């Protein structure tokens, strides 16, 4: 690789220059979304360093349950051990490196490698390695652990040896909002894995604004399109919706106060490592759920909450997740990079553990709005990817209502700077 003046430049130089050129308030230059070396750097600087949302507790309800998640080139094995504690390991056998658990979820007393049958306990200890010589020390070959934290039933892992500071503090602020919904005991009602034809950052940026929300007719039945607008910037055509929002919001606040539910907006989207936004927010129409008329999609309420009319608790975290937690169900979204131009969006729908499919909820009704919304977003992300991949693309300006997109990009650039200075 040579630069225009023919001095050799390394990938780190190209990334360093692009980071230095980044204009705040504008979208990122093309290579951030298209270039293989930038993608690899994203894995090193973000996905291998930060706390990454990968799953929900409810995906592994019983001891022995296991699942695996791919984070770029890493594969992480999640298991619930005999003490019901969730653990994460690198999904790599300590013999000759075979992938230990392939594919979907399952349950097992032990983890047996499919190659030469090395056998690990659910705590990662190597229990059995056939035909090794006397003196072979099994204690030296346990599975390599990965840091794991469950926050009110949402599972995060960190691949770094030394996780970034601040996560526990953020978790302790987020957890009180989540606990009334009792997500760690909830049941997975549905899951979807959508491969989007775009860079992971385009998926995230798209999630951080409602400037494009006209593309979501199903969602907009109940989701207020004024999300992200400051009072002064609300366009004329959204004023009637805003009036409805103000009324619903006032009523909701009274409910939250009465029930003692935390609801105030916490928005810490600055460049610190653990950046997040959390807020209980009103929904339109019946105000209960993401359905055509806003009424609950599931009759049994999470945590046996006393009313379905709680709007939605919206939680957005850097770098890769968002959640909508309602009275009747919750939806977890995690974004996992596959390649510079391909991204996996995992969506999980949760309901009360005793809610019965076909009796308390219809799975199609439960998923309809966000399946449609995800597909619509995937189309927009693919459009954006095609545009930014061409030579004519230049970074463009964010509108005020896209301030959370800017916050995401500036947080991301801060992570690249950290990595470049390491
Ligand atoms: O999931 C979200 O938070 C949404 C949906 C619409 C725009 N975005 C803010
Ligand atoms: Fe796992 Fe040989 S690679 S037992
Ligand atoms: Fe969208």
* CA–CA distance, 326 with 331 (Å, rounded to integer): 8
210 lines ligand 1 (CB under 6 A): yes
Tell me, in angstroms, the distance from the centre of ligand 1 to residue 173's CA: 21
Tell me, in angstroms, the distance from the centre of ligand 3 to residue 405's CA: 13
Q: Which residues contact 236 (CB under 8 A, 6 or more apart)?
A: none
Complex ipTM > 0.90: yes
- The predicted structure's pLDDT at residue 2: 46
226 lines ligand 1 (CB under 6 A): no
Tell me, in angstroms, the distance from the centre of ligand 2 to residue 114's CA: 7
| Phi, psi dihedrals of residue 243, rounded to the nearest 5° | -60, -45
Q: Which ligand is nearest to the CA of 333?
A: 1
Helix locations, 126-214, DSSP H? 167-178, 200-207
* CA–CA distance, 249 with 241 (Å, rounded to integer): 12
- The predicted structure's pLDDT at residue 107: 83
- The predicted structure's pLDDT at residue 110: 95
Tell me, in angstroms, the distance from the centre of ligand 3 to residue 221's CA: 14
* CA–CA distance, 71 with 69 (Å, rounded to integer): 6
Name the residue with the closest Cα to ligand 1, atom 2.
Answer: 207
Name the residue with the closest Cα to ligand 2, atom 3.
Answer: 96
Of ligand 2's atoms, which has the minimum distance to the CA of residue 98?
3
Tell me, in angstroms, the distance from the centre of ligand 3 to residue 400's CA: 17
Residues at CB less than 6 angstroms from ligand 2: 93, 95-96, 98, 113, 115-118
Tell which one of 208, 225, 401 to mutate to probe ligand 1, the residue whose CB is within 8 A of the most ligand atoms. Answer: 208
* CA–CA distance, 197 with 379 (Å, rounded to integer): 8
Contact between 333 and 316 (Cβ < 8 Å): no
* CA–CA distance, 281 with 277 (Å, rounded to integer): 12
Tell me, in angstroms, the distance from the centre of ligand 2 to residue 378's CA: 39
Task: For residue 55, count CB atoms less than 10 angstroms from its CB and return exposed for 0-12, middle for 13-18, buried for 19 or more.
Answer: buried
* CA–CA distance, 201 with 32 (Å, rounded to integer): 9
Please state, for a pLDDT cut of 70, what percent of the chain lies above it.
Answer: 98
* CA–CA distance, 204 with 77 (Å, rounded to integer): 24
Q: Per-residue pLDDT tens for 199-229? A: 999 999 999 999 999 999 999 999 999 999 9
47 lines ligand 1 (CB under 6 A): no
* CA–CA distance, 199 with 222 (Å, rounded to integer): 29
Tell me, in angstroms, the distance from the centre of ligand 2 to residue 112's CA: 9
Task: Identify the residue whose tokens are 């070396």.
Answer: 37
What is the band of 8 on the pLDDT scale with cuts at 50, 70, 90? low
Of ligand 2's atoms, which has the minimum distance to the CA of residue 97?
3
**Residues in the chain, overall count:** 422
Helix locations, 115-268, DSSP H? 167-178, 200-207, 239-259
Contact between 78 and 68 (Cβ < 8 Å): yes
CA angle (279 as vertex; 348, 150 as ends), nearest 5? 45
Q: Per-residue pLDDT tens for 336-383? A: 999 999 999 999 999 999 999 999 999 999 999 999 999 999 999 999
Q: Per-residue pLDDT tens for 150-195? A: 999 999 999 999 999 999 999 999 999 999 999 999 999 999 999 9
- The predicted structure's pLDDT at residue 1: 45
- The closest alpha carbon to 146, from 77, 72, 60, 192, belongs to 77
Hey, what domains does the chain have and what are their CATH numbers?
Answer: 60-150 (2.102.10.10), 165-416 (3.90.380.10)
Name the residue with the closest Cα to ligand 1, atom 3.
Answer: 207
Give the mean model confidence (pLDDT) for residues 418-422: 97
């Amino acid at each position: 690789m040579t630069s225009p003046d023919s001095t050799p430049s390394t990938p780190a130089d190209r990334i360093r220059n692009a980071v230095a050129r980044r204009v705040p308030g504008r979208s990122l230059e093309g290579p951030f979304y298209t270039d293989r070396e930038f993608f690899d750097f994203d894995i090193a600087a973000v996905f291998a360093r930060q706390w990454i949302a990968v799953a929900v507790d409810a995906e592994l309800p019983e001891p022995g349950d296991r699942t695996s998640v791919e984070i770029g080139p890493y594969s992480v094995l999640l298991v619930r051990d005999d003490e019901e504690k969730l653990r994460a390991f690198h999904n790599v056998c300590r013999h000759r490196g075979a992938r230990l658990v392939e594919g979907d979820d399952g349950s097992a007393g032990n983890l047996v490698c499919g190659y030469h049958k090395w056998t690990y306990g659910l705590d990662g200890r190597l229990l059995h390695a056939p035909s090794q010589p006397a003196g072979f020390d099994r204690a030296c070959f346990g599975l390599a652990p990965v840091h794991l934290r469950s926050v009110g039933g949402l599972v995060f892992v960190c691949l770094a040896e030394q996780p970034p500071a601040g996560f526990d503090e953020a978790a302790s602020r987020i957890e009180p909002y989540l606990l009334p919904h009792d997500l760690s005991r909830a049941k997975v009602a549905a899951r979807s894995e959508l491969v989007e034809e775009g860079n992971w950052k385009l998926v995230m940026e798209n999630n951080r604004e409602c400037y494009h929300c006209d593309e979501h007719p199903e969602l907009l039945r109940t989701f207020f399109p004024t999300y992200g607008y400051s009072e002064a910037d609300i366009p004329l055509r959204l004023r009637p919706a805003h009036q409805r929002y103000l009324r619903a919001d006032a009523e909701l606040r009274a409910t939250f106060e009465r029930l003692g539910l935390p609801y105030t907006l916490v928005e810490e989207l600055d460049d610190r490592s653990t950046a997040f936004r959390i807020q209980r927010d009103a929904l339109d129409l019946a105000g209960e759920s993401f359905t055509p008329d806003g009424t609950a999609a599931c009759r049994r309420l999470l945590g046996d909450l006393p009313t379905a009319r709680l709007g939605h608790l919206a939680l957005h975290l850097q770098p890769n997740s968002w959640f909508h937690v309602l009275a009747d169900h919750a939806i977890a979204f995690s974004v996992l990079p596959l390649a510079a131009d391909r991204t996996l969006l995992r969506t999980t729908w949760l309901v009360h553990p005793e809610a019965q499919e076909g009796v308390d909820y219809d799975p199609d009704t439960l998923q309809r709005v966000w399946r449609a919304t995800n597909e619509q977003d995937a189309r927009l992300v693919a459009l954006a990817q095609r545009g930014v991949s061409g030579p004519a693309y230049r970074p463009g300006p964010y509108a005020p209502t896209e301030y959370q997109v800017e916050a995401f990009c500036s947080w991301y650039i801060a992570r690249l700077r950290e990595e470049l200075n390491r």
